[in-house]
Structure 1
Amino acid sequence: MKKNVLAFVCVLGATIFITELSAQEKPVSVKFKARAGLFNYRLGGDMKGFKSKIGIGGTVGATVKYEVSSNFALQSGLDVYYNTSKLEAKNGGSSAKIKTLGLEIPLYAILQKEVGAGKAFIGAGAYLGYGIGAKADGVNLYEENSGSLAMNRFDYGLGGITGYDFDTNWQINAAYRFGLRDLHKAREGSMKNNGATIGIAYKF
């Protein structure tokens, strides 16, 4: 319960942070983005008897970038993600395809440098996530099944991003996220997000 409250406070704080940045006199830019990527879970404990096969996923959303200086920026935003991964028993037994839909708020510290007519950049930071839906072979993992929830809705972790801003308002980028939150409800096993994406963005 405390973790859920903390996650909510962090999400609210990030939203206020974005709003405050928009009101500043220093340059603030907004981009709309779309990414495709590969996704799976890092499994531990009793879940080590399974393997998480890499599945296809993607995100769409908006990015707010605050230019602190010509070489440093802060970047946040809101992403809507959809990911898939198939869990298979290593002994060749049962399997289930997990599909998840949710929201994420990333926050990156960005280092950037002019290269050619645009800017190359690299950044690191963290993200907060909230699951809207999660299903495995038609079973809702966010609803009570056999008296208990199978997966946690709230997620958090570390992230990295790199890319290039063209002088035509277009951007190409690649990002990676490393989940730290155990999404598996059972104490005996652990299940954490792992994903990489590549995509484009357009600045308005």
Structure 2
Amino acid sequence: MKKNVVTFLFAVGALIFSTQLWAQDKPVSFGFKVGTNLSNYRLGGDMNGFKSKMNFGGSVGGFIKYDLSTTFALQSGIDVYYKTSTLESKTDQSSYKFKSFGVEMPVYGIVQGELGGGKAFIGAGPYIGYGISAKSDGVNLFGKNGEIGKPAMNRFDYGVGGIIGYDFDKNWQINASYQFGLADLHKAKGGSMKSHGASIGIAYKF
């Protein structure tokens, strides 16, 4: 698992570095964004006795966009997120509220084109994430658990995602994104827990 994460981080870093080289003589734009999200977890194995329900959260971040041509661009950035979800037992009435806080770095390949008075775009690419805090009913899931002697969840996440949006003018943008986590965040053997979520937001570019 650690080897896969290191390889993934290296690939994303190389992609960001290469886009910076490409962007030396290309139009570059910067922006800030804020949005709301819905998130939960895809459960498997020993976790099949539970279901994960989506709850609302939020995010704020910034991005850099490199226009390689009039129709294609590369976009990288960083988002600080707050996510919530509810884990409910399928056999009784018990439920657990999950609250997580962390950062994510997506890289998108974007296809874009003029539409009406603005520009529409759609893109896809990988992302990596790092959890700063994760709690369930006040219990720190990144801290050592007294029963198993180790954290209940992994901090590192990675996966693939997509984005779609519209630039109304030179500055304002509306966008929606989707993320499909590939990393197993559940530490215990026999169970799996992978992130899943969608968001919608606005951005201001300059």
SS of the residue aligned with 1:182?
coil
Deviations 1:150-190 (A, max 9, x none): 00000001100001011141000000000011100112111
Q: Tell whether the 8 Å contact from 2:160 to 2:181 is kept in structure 1 after alignment.
A: yes
Q: 2:106 matched to 1:106?
A: yes
Partner of 1:170: 172
Aligned-pair CA distance for 1:2: 2.3
Which residue pairs with 2:6 in the alignment? 5
Q: TM-score, normalised by structure 2?
A: 0.92
1:193 partner amino acid: S
Whether 1:44 and 2:44 are equivalent positions in the alignment is: yes
- Report the 3-state secondary structure (helix = DSSP H, G, I; strand = E; otherwise coil) of the residue aligned with 2:48: helix
User: Percent of aligned positions with the same letter in both sequences?
Assistant: 61
Q: Distance in 1 between matches of 2:157 and 2:95?
A: 24
8 A contact 2:12–2:107 mirrored in 1: no
Q: Distance in 2 between matches of 1:100 and 1:14?
A: 28
- RMSD of the alignment, in Å? 1.7
Any gaps of 5 or more consecutive residues in structure 1?
none
Q: Which runs of 5+ in 2 are unaligned?
A: none
Once the two structures are superposed, residues 46-67 of structure 1 have per-residue CA deviations (whole angstroms, 9 ceiling, x without a partner) of 1010011111112110011000
The amino acid that maps onto 1:33 is K
**2:158, 2:182 within 8 Å by CA — same for their partners in 1?**
yes
Is the contact between residue 87 and residue 98 of structure 1 (CA under 8 Å) also seen in structure 2? yes
What does 1:38-187 align with in structure 2 at a 5 Å threshold? 38-146=38-146, 147-187=149-189
Distance 1:21 1:103, change over 3 A: farther
Shift of 1:126: 1.1
| Segment of structure 1 superposing worse, 101-110 or 5-14 | 5-14
Q: CA deviation at 1:16?
A: 4.0
Decide whether aligned partners of structure 1 residues 196 and 42 sit closer, same or farther in structure 2, where only a CA change above 3 A counts: same
Q: How much has 1:8 moved relative to structure 2?
A: 4.6
